[in-house]
A and B are shown apart, each in its own frame.
Chain A
Amino acid sequence: QKEVEQNSGPLSVPEGAIASLNCTYSDRGSQSFFWYRQYSGKSPELIMSIYSNGDKEDGRFTAQLNKASQYVSLLIRDSQPSDSATYLCAGAFSGGYNKLIFGAGTRLAVHP
């Protein structure tokens, strides 16, 4: 059973702080990982992807992948109230077809 685990939160951070979101996965065959942001009542929006060990930065977002520890994280610098949302971690698995397996999401609240 392939699984992706996230702490459901809520994670509460003050405006301007760094928010750190974490995710672990069970299948070492996972090839790539994605972070989605989902506002209440909306569909998930892809914000970051990462395929190799190490860090990948895009603006205020940094994704980190450690395949040995089966760990993925997302850092949000200079957090803004508009970042308040649920963040979903997903791993891509192949095996005849491709699918994403999602964690349950971490709710982030950025307070002024």
Chain B
Amino acid sequence: ETGVTQSPTHLIKTRGQQVTLRCSSQSGHNTVSWYQQALGQGPQFIFQYYREEENGRGNFPPRFSGLQFPNYSSELNVNALELDDSALYLCASSAGQGALNYGYTFGSGTRLTVV
């Protein structure tokens, strides 16, 4: 039981469509980070939300966007899906600066396949 839950677990979308992935943070955690893990690669940082504001972003285009809600749950939205967006999408929550000291606990991930 990681305390971080993601939905859905698997998703198949068609190129050009839009997708929304969801993440519920571990209790007490106010920071949510999203990562993309392509097959055979390490997770790549997409962005981070702290208290409902995006406060850091990796090298991903604007069609990757997110939201964080008052209860600290989060959504990742991807518009105009491309085949290369096929990956495992991971959500991690942390308490403020906690990531530096304790690392992240990831959710079980959402496997997105774009066809």
A residues apposed to B, CB below 8 Å = 4, 6, 8, 31-32, 34, 36, 41-46, 49, 51, 88, 90, 92, 94, 96-105
Contacts and interface: CB of A to CB of B under 8 A. Distances in A.
Given A96-B55, A97-B50, A42 B41 contact: no
B39 to A, nearest CB: 11
Contacts of A92: 99-100, 103
Best-surrounded residue of A36, A51, A92, A99 (most CB of chain B within 10 A): A99
Interface stretch (B12-20, B73-81, B106-114): B106-114
A8 B39 CA distance: 13
Contacts, number: 74
Given A96-B56, A104-B42, A43 B50 contact: no
Best-surrounded residue of A41, A42, A49, A98 (most CB of chain B within 10 A): A98
Contacts of A88: 42-43
A102 B42 contact: yes
13 contacts: A31-B100, A41-B111, A43-B108, A49-B101, A51-B101, A92-B99, A97-B55, A98-B94, A98-B100, A99-B33, A99-B48, A104-B41, A105-B42
Contact of A44 (B40, B43, B111): B43
Contacts of A36: 103
Interface residues of B, number: 30
Majority secondary structure of chain A interface residues (helix, strand, loop or mixed): strand
A49 B56 contact: no
Contacts of A102: 35, 42-44
B81 to A, nearest CB: 21
Contact of A43 (B31, B56, B88, B97): B88
Contacts of A4: 42
